[in-house]
Amino acid sequence: MIPVAVGAGNITTVALEQFFAYTLCNWLVTFRVRQNRMAESTAVERSIWVAVPPERAWQAVTEPQHLNQWYATFYHWDIPALAAGARVEFYNKDNHADMQVATITVVDPPREFTLRWESPTGYPATTLITSFLLNSEADGTRVTIHESGYETVPADERQQWLDATGNGYGMSVENLKAYLEGRPIPY
């Protein structure tokens, strides 16, 4: 609903100008806040196009029986409930003590699945956020893995973390593409 002044049945020009000035101002503030947040965040992102519809890609990035086939295949996913607030466990198949725990923060089928990981041992200030983002594109789906939160990793270690994660996600998206397109997993 647009708040406007009505005088003798007509919307006044001043009211519309004020409304659009207010809207533009709010948009600019929102844009600057988002821009500042992005500038403060250090992230890794890998993206790939796959020849499947978003619904099929969604299953692959949210259902353990699919994740276990392409994502770090020596690890196992346990996702008891696909709902915001649910706990997720990601652990080494041969050593269950090697486990990472996350909380699902966003479930927006078939567009976004986001996890907030518990702080890694020795890095209590570090909280990594991993998002699987899906967008329809050219009779298929663009799948992006975006992980942020590295700005709290000590500066002398940060690049190693970014490189390792970037390499891992590069292999993961290649595996995902092969898995969804019915080819052997390369990594």
Number of domains in the chain: 2
- Domain of 58, CATH number, reads 3.30.530.20
- Angstrom distance (rounded) from CA 165 to CA 96: 21
Residue 39 burial class via C-beta count within 10 angstroms: exposed 0-12, middle 13-18, buried 19 and up: exposed
User: Is 52 found in the same domain as 123?
Assistant: yes
On whether residue 187 sits in a domain, the answer given is no
On whether residue 62 sits in a domain, the answer given is yes
Range of the domain at 138: 43-180
User: Is 135 found in the same domain as 162?
Assistant: yes
Tens-level pLDDT at each residue, the chain (187 residues):
333 333 444 444 444 344 333 333 333 333 333 333 444 689 999 999 999 999 999 999 999 999 999 999 999 999 999 999 999 999 999 998 899 999 999 999 999 999 999 999 999 999 999 999 999 999 999 999 999 999 999 999 999 999 999 999 999 999 999 999 999 999 9
pTM of the full predicted structure? Answer: 0.78
